[in-house]
Amino acid sequence: MSCSVTINVNNKEEIYEIDKVARQAAGAVLLREKNAVVLATVARDEKQVEEDFLPLTVQYIEKSYAAARIPGGYIKRETKPGDFETLTSRIIDRSLRPLFPKGYSYPTQIVIFVLSADPEVDLQTMALNAASAALYLSDIPVDKNVAAVRIGRIDGEFIVNPTKSQMQESTLDLYVSGTKEELLMIEMRAIATEKIEVIPLASPDPLVLADMIDDDLIEKHNVNELSNEETLEALQIAQDAIMKASSDYEQGFRELKKPVAQLDLKRESVEESLLVYIDEIYKEDIYDAINRMAKSERATELQQIVEKITQDEIAEEQGWDPQMVKKMVDLYKRDLVRKMILEERKRADGRGLKEVRPIEIETNILPSVHSSCLFTRGQTQALVTVTLGSSKDAQMYDLLTDKEAHYENFMVHYNFPGFSVGEASPLRPPGRRELGHGNLAKRALEPTIMLDSDQTVRIVSEILESNGSSSMATVCGGSLALKAAGIEVEKLVAGVAMGLVVEADKYAILTDIMGLEDHDGDMDFKIAGTKDGITALQMDIKLGGIATKTLKEALDQAEEAKLHILDIMEEAAEKISLNENALPSRSVFTLDPSTFGAIIGQAGKTIKEIIEKFEVSVDLDRESGKVKVEGADKVQVSAACDYIRELASRKRESRHEKREMPKFSVGQVFDAEVKRIVDFGAFVELPGGVDGLLHISKLSDERVEKVTDILNVGDRVKVKILSIKGHKIELELIEKL
């Protein structure tokens, strides 16, 4: 019998329909939030796999009909999942996987369909909450509810579960999932803000607009990275919200949970006699194998030890099968690694707990590439390249709730070929891991660069060798590759992977973990940022929660490592020599839009001649007055820019000759008409055809966000002259007529 549960928590009303649809699944819920509806189902096989692992598959799928749309392209149905769907599936998997009991090895599939979309609803948090509810209500022995929460930051204030429109103003995107007792997964990124400010010297006549724009307009780029203290504050807010939501879910769902199925959970059997035998006979061999694993993610040496043990006469006498031997060798190795760290404060490669592996950096080693960086940290090596393009090179993508296509002009693509870990595996398209690592690197780097709308930048990271945190090597190499391409980088970004080992009341935090420590540790904590704070963070916790004190210590220890790496990167940045022969040349400057007619010429004749003569592309923006010239030859681009400026100058001089500036005085009041709107104000026409500027700060006594909130082209206004400097006339709005 179906029922409905309404839960009001963390600024949201969630309506769960239970046992209404998909009733043959092990668990299913319909979740409604505003006009958004998702279906989450859980299904499992009756027969478990022989291997000792959790065969869990999570798939988040957006249906086009959910937004009243037909899929674009040749095939009119949903096909391959997009990046957002894949990344969301990965987030849900990472959040729910720790809930399954040990020994559970039944093939299980969690599917989330978006059936109805709402542009104001966060589908990622909604999808995880629905999937968690379906899993909790199923007959699978899971006794905890997971809650997802997003934290934004607007005007310095942290906001729980902001709407999609509010997120447009946020400088932080923090996604956290957890249970009532613990955090399970964290994804964080800083969001840069860009704004143009005007120093109000005086208001220009449009004839001399170009003279003052470069001096009076200041582009400010705020990276908006978070300090460690701000990060901890945001995480505490998220944890409080998750605790409240999880408690409400438990209370609302407890009586509706299905009876737990009679499942055969594999026991974690330990063959003590085999462990004793390994300790007595093969201890040194495993020590040597661990030392070699410190230089490679491969476990070849351990497999050889397993084969040697299974061939022993004692193994045959005791009936130790190869699977049991492998399991006990892995267990012995894990205990040995953790014991070395906790008791001896020693790591497999001999490093101290806070020590970063040696770093080597080379830039622009590929002569025909726009820029490149070979970043090597210990046995992890990334070759990162940057390719510059124009707006036509941007990646087009669709969002379910938006009718128009979007364009991604900053891309980070991460590749992980098998040879990077010594394996002869086939090359395949990027999977979830590759997409996730590339997305993390993008989130870390994006706040530090400013790109115009007609620019496209593609970063490709080829992992040539891997033994721990190749995603953070991508961040470091990517930041330097951007700089080596001549791109304006606000600050360099470094990344480091942290680890944690906990046994009873003992714990150790590890800096710059390698693959061995990632596999046998209790936490994977990746932190990237500038010298002033954190731009991106990702954390997966394998144990039952983490104390705030320990988290703060991990952040502080990561800060030390990050600054150490940045010092090395700064030295490398000073030695960068640009690939002048490979780099395209680009120049952007501002002119009075009224001169564009002379640049274009009759029927476009003049601008065509410029393009052909100098072998460049020219883009004119009449609204902003920006002129962009691009070409393969730097000399030709410079010559084209000089020629364009000369054409504009002649046009302005000829217009000055045709009219004289009427005499005005400060304090005069005129009725005028708004002729043009710009970001920083409005130009109005005074007597004699002279224009004056109404700066945005002079439109009202209160702060005005957009000029168009007050004025539009064609409005009649009464204005007063505040100042006159040459042709620059500054006005104040008295009233609209």
Residue 203 confidence (pLDDT): 36
Strand partners of residue 62: 114
Distance, CA of 137 to CA of 120 (rounded, Å): 28
Beta-strand relationship, 410-415 and 455-465: parallel
Spatial contact of 490 and 482, defined as CB atoms under 8 Å apart: no
183-209 average pLDDT score: 62
- pLDDT level of residue 51 (50, 70, 90 thresholds): confident
Kindly state the percentage of the chain with pLDDT values over 90. Answer: 49
Q: What is the pLDDT of residues 201-211, one digit of tens each?
A: 333 443 334 43
Spatial contact of 596 and 620, defined as CB atoms under 8 Å apart: yes
Between CA 299 and CA 303, with CA 301 as vertex, the angle to 5 degrees is 75
194-222 average pLDDT score: 44
Which residue matches tokens 């090895």? 105
Q: What is the DSSP string of 120-179?
A: TS-HHHHHHHHHHHHHHHSSSS-----EEEEEEEETTEEEES--HHHHTT-SEEEEEEE-
Over 80: is that where the pLDDT of 571 sits?
Answer: yes
Distance, CA of 341 to CA of 355 (rounded, Å): 13
Q: Which residue has the higher pLDDT, 644 or 218?
A: 644
Helix (H) or strand (E) holding 388: strand 380-390
Q: What is the pLDDT of residues 387-417, one digit of tens each?
A: 998 888 889 888 888 878 888 999 999 999 9
CATH architecture assignment, domain 3-256:
2-Layer Sandwich (3.30)
* CB within 8 Å of 735: residues ≥ 6 apart: 717, 718
Spatial contact of 672 and 684, defined as CB atoms under 8 Å apart: yes
Q: Where are the alpha helices (DSSP H) in 634-675?
A: 634-658
Beta-strand relationship, 3-9 and 12-18: antiparallel
Pull the structure tokens for residue 120: 């104001």
Q: What is the pLDDT of residues 589-601, one digit of tens each?
A: 888 888 888 889 8
Please state, in angstroms and as integers, the Cα–Cα distance from residue 16 to each residue in 8, 21, 128, 242, 478, following that order.
11, 12, 13, 18, 44
CATH of 585-658, one of 3.30.1370.10, 3.40.50.720, 3.40.50.20, 3.30.70.240: 3.30.1370.10
- pLDDT level of residue 726 (50, 70, 90 thresholds): low
Pull the structure tokens for residue 248: 């409400």
Q: What is the pLDDT of residues 114-147, one digit of tens each?
A: 999 999 999 999 999 999 999 999 999 999 999 9
**Which residue, 168, 90, 98, 182, is CA-closest to 128?**
90
Over 80: is that where the pLDDT of 299 sits?
Answer: no
CA of residue 656 relative to chain centroid, distance = 51
Exposure of 390 in the CB half-sphere (CA atoms within 13 A): 13
Question: What is the amino acid identity at position 606?
Answer: T
Distance, CA of 59 to CA of 138 (rounded, Å): 17
Spatial contact of 435 and 449, defined as CB atoms under 8 Å apart: no
Distance, CA of 131 to CA of 91 (rounded, Å): 11
Report the CATH superfamily, name and number, of domain 359-574.
Answer: GHMP Kinase, N-terminal domain (3.30.230.70)
Residue 352 confidence (pLDDT): 92
- pLDDT level of residue 196 (50, 70, 90 thresholds): very low
300-318 average pLDDT score: 84
Residue 617 confidence (pLDDT): 86
Average pLDDT, the chain: 87
547-553 average pLDDT score: 84
* CB within 8 Å of 302: residues ≥ 6 apart: 286, 289, 293, 329, 330, 333
Beta-strand relationship, 36-44 and 183-190: unpaired
Q: Which DSSP category does 67 fall into? A: G
Spatial contact of 36 and 27, defined as CB atoms under 8 Å apart: no
Distance, CA of 43 to CA of 30 (rounded, Å): 15
Residue 655 confidence (pLDDT): 54
CATH architecture assignment, domain 669-736:
Beta Barrel (2.40)
Helix (H) or strand (E) holding 350: none
Distance, CA of 60 to CA of 70 (rounded, Å): 19
In the three-class reduction of DSSP (H, G, I as helix; E, B as strand; rest coil), residue 51 is classed as coil
**Which residue, 471, 411, 483, is CA-closest to 441?**
471
Q: Which strands form 12-18's sheet, in the order they lie side by side?
A: 3-9, 12-18, 27-33, 36-44, 108-116, 56-62
Residue 205 confidence (pLDDT): 40
Distance, CA of 379 to CA of 188 (rounded, Å): 27
Exposure of 571 in the CB half-sphere (CA atoms within 13 A): 9
Over 70: is that where the pLDDT of 218 sits?
Answer: no
Residue 408 confidence (pLDDT): 92
Q: Indicate if 359-574 has the same CATH topology as 3-256.
A: yes
Q: Which residue has the higher pLDDT, 625 or 24?
A: 24
In the chain, where are the structural domains located? 3-256, 277-343, 359-574, 585-658, 669-736
- pLDDT level of residue 200 (50, 70, 90 thresholds): very low
Q: What is the pLDDT of residues 636-689, one digit of tens each?
A: 888 899 889 888 887 665 555 545 557 788 888 888 888 888 777 888 888 877
Distance, CA of 566 to CA of 494 (rounded, Å): 6
* CB within 8 Å of 414: residues ≥ 6 apart: 430, 434, 435, 437, 438, 441, 461, 463, 470, 471, 474
Q: What is the pLDDT of residues 501-529, one digit of tens each?
A: 988 888 999 999 998 888 888 888 999 99
Over 70: is that where the pLDDT of 216 sits?
Answer: no
Angle between helix 83-96 and 123-137 (nearest 10)? 40
Distance, CA of 211 to CA of 645 (rounded, Å): 12
Residue 36 confidence (pLDDT): 97
Q: What is the DSSP string of 236-292?
A: HHHHHHHHHHHHHHHHHHGGGPPPPP---PPP----HHHHHHHHHHSHHHHHHHHHH
Distance, CA of 141 to CA of 732 (rounded, Å): 71
Residue 208 confidence (pLDDT): 39
Distance, CA of 264 to CA of 408 (rounded, Å): 48
Please state, in angstroms and as integers, the Cα–Cα distance from residue 525 to each residue in 180, 497, 499, 551, 680, following that order.
21, 6, 6, 10, 43
